[in-house]
Amino acid sequence: MGIFNHYVIVKFKDGVEVEELIQDLEKMISGIQHVKSFEWGKDIENHEMLTQGFTHAFLMTFNGKEDLAAFQIHPSHVEFSKIFSSALEKIVVLDFPSKLVKAPA
């Protein structure tokens, strides 16, 4: 099937130590072999009409849907998800196969 993506967009609850949570997320992901790549970012434009309050985006890539499924049941992910979920006000999750249109230069 090729590359499979797990895209998460969130708005954290007020008072959450976001930097600490993201450091824990990075540590958790780097210990799971199923994750091919991981990147994240924080919105800096703040166009409320467009962002609807969402502030952070996380993108993980996998070598296929099977690796995503293995990641989702990995004990480290299951445990971290409880902590991560309790810190969120809103979340959107999209899982999809990649369709590369233009490769990086």
Question: Is residue 102, in this structure, part of any structural domain at all?
Answer: no
- Amino acid 52: pLDDT: 87
- Domain membership of residue 23 (yes or no) is yes
CATH number at residue 53: 3.30.70.100
Total domains in the chain come to 1
Whole-structure pTM value:
0.91
* 104 in any annotated domain: no
With a CB cutoff of 8 Å and minimum separation 6, the contacts of 68 are 4, 6, 34, 60, 62, 95
How far apart, in whole angstroms, are the C-alpha atoms of residue 11 and residue 5? 20
The reply to whether 19 falls in a domain is yes
* pLDDT, tens only, 14-25: 999 999 999 999
